[in-house]
Chain A
Amino acid sequence: MLPDDRLDALLTSLDEGRLQPADVDPDLLPLVKVARRLSHLDSAAPSPDFASDLHSRLVARTAALQARQADFADVTLPGQSYAPEDMTVPLATRPLGNAPIQRDTWPTLSPGVGVVDRHARRPRRTHRSRLFWQGLAAAVVFLVCGGTFGVAAFAQPGNPLYGLRALESHVGVAVAPTGADRAQQQLNSASAALTTLEGVVTRHSGDAAYTQALAGVRKQEAAASQAVGSLSSSSAYPQLLTQLQGVQARERADLRQALPLVGWENRLATTLALGDLGDTIPRITSASATEATGDGGGSWRVEIHGGGFLPGATLVVNGQPVGTVLSVTQDTLLATIPAGAIAGAPHALGVSNTDGTAAQTDQLGVQTSGDQPTPGPEATPTSGDNGGGGTGGGDHNGTPTPSPRK
């Protein structure tokens, strides 16, 4: 037996009381003495005050950690119950159990410098805790997204979320399973757009909001018309067509109601929309303005040709009601602009009907007092000029060619 093994056996025998020091091999006696001297500490114990104080602080720390944990699940194990007063564990120096140590599981106890115990420093995070935080994050994302889409569903024109509302409508149509469902969805969207327009008009939300709402109405109504029209051979077509006609009637009424409440540009756009719905609206095919002579200059004679002019129609110059209407028929309006009413020459002439509809053109012949009359081009309707049920631009009355302004 090697001296190493003999020494180990000696120490074990002495520890277990199976050997007396006098029986120790003299060669190994010095080493046994040193070992016994070392083992002097194996009966040392911390002071009771220190042990009690540390225990109290550990319990407090444990309670604090428990309170900090997100999940407060009861971890009582079935069939296991013991109280702190059961802690009658004898203080001993030898542990029981001989289970093998899993490699790479524990901080190694072999000597080394600077070994970091990663287990001791890593914050505690249980599986349940991770699940809780993941669930919480998912709930927050769901609430934020759901809230955003929910708010967007009621967003009004002028709100940044109004575009998201249109996207929702588009998605709703895209996911519809059949053509009839898509048409129904489009009709619903058009109806919703009309509701929005009514709200804008009722609340006097301003021309910008009205422009956006009107564009939405026209887009949804056009899409609904196309969707319903594509189902002409379907059995659902009569019902859908009836719904479409109802939407269009409602749209017509809403637009008529809005006409006197909106600005000039929106009146022109609304008139165009009414024209698309089949209403009779004013249209301008040509217009001219001639500066009068002999009265000192500055006054203008205006002649506008087109159709849909109503009795009592007024002249609108450069977006402002100006001048005196001399005569108005269904297709001609004659008016004068007194001197000083406008600055310079007119560049846009329009007609405002008594029912609120309007038309305007900026393609006009202007003749000042020193100019020779020249044939003008056919007036090209502006945004309001193509009204009249798509018949605009058909007449040509040989208006003077616009001359350079002096």
Chain B
Amino acid sequence: MEMSGARGRAHEMGPGNQPGETSRERLTWPPAVPFEVVLRRACDLDQAAISLLYKRFLPVVYRYAMARVGDLYAAEDVTSETFFAMVEGIGTTRATDELTFAAWILGIARNKVALHFRALRAHPEPRRELAEDAHPFTTAEEADPLAVITARESWSEVVAALNLLTDEQRTVVLYRCILGYPTEDVARLMEKQPGTIRALQFRALASLDRHLNAQRPTRTAGADRQAKPHAAPQGRKGNASRR
């Protein structure tokens, strides 16, 4: 897999990106409306404030759900349930800033995902593949049909591998690599030390690499033959396979 894959191209081709600008977007909450004010008004069920929070956290919740359930429609269900729970319970939240509110709403999303898997165990249903008109990825990817197909196949494998990780490893990977939180924020979200988060991240990525290679040995081998012989990453003691 090339580093400048679909995601990388998407950022590079972003309309607002300038040379030297960071590849990932950053939050720019309207400075005229502090988050604390919006949150306070949302707690009083102000519709505009609720809409602002929805706009801000929709992609976060959606990506989290997508990464966890790996199914477009299930992710939409989880997202809907999370935001309805947010509206119902926002009067009780004690969030004071954006990060603590993110922790709160992601906690709701995490419980909704758990309920989804519990219901799935009780009533198994055939896994739905992504529809042709589904839009889980960026516009830039859709301009390249091959990239779309590759991305969808690749993502199914990634979700399957993610589900093989431990809960802590999966959470770190989701927050760090998919939601894009800095290590220090992830440490606060999980109430752990940053060093612990970095260790969990290392072990999670090593396990993911191992699982992904086990799922697609031939394809990985073929891709790596063209680039470079695959070398197992070395951990602290030179053993990348440790968890």
Contact = CB atoms under 8 A, between A and B. Distances in A.
B236 A111 contact: no
B22 A15 contact: yes
Contacts of A98: 99, 184-185, 188
Interface stretch (A45-53, A177-185, A224-232, A324-332): A45-53
Contacts of B46: 75
Which 7 A-B pairs give the minimum distances between C-beta atoms? A111-B167, A124-B91, A107-B107, A21-B3, A93-B180, A75-B44, A92-B27
A30 B231 contact: yes
B54 A55 contact: yes
B53 to A, nearest CB: 9
A109 B48 contact: no
Contacts of B134: 47
Interface string A29-51: 11111111111111111111011
Contacts of B202: 3-4, 7-8, 31
B209 A30 contact: yes
Interface in B40-70: 40-41, 44-48, 50-52, 54-56, 58-60, 62-63, 66-67
Interface string A19-31: 0010000111111
B59 to A, nearest CB: 5
Given A17-B23, A40-B5, A87 B48 contact: yes
Interface in A103-157: 103, 105-117, 119-126
A126 B22 contact: no
Contacts of A90: 25, 27-28
Contact of B56 (A36, A89, A102, A125): A89
Interface in B77-95: 79-80, 83-95
A16 interface: yes
Contacts of B85: 117, 120-121
A69 interface: yes
Given A46-B62, A62-B87, A109-B107, A92 B25 contact: yes
Most buried by B among A33, A91, A116: A33
A89 B55 contact: yes
A154 B155 CA distance: 82
A277 interface: no
B234 A3 contact: yes
A96 interface: yes
A44 B137 contact: yes
13 contacts: A4-B236, A8-B202, A26-B231, A37-B212, A44-B138, A54-B58, A54-B80, A86-B52, A94-B180, A98-B184, A107-B107, A108-B190, A109-B191
B236 A3 contact: yes
A82 B48 contact: yes
B30 interface: yes
Interface string A69-103: 10000010100101110111111111111111111
Given A4-B198, A7-B202, A54-B79, A69 B135 contact: no
Contacts of A121: 85, 88-89
Most buried by A among B137, B151, B182, B198: B198
Interface string B1-35: 10111111011000000001111111111101101
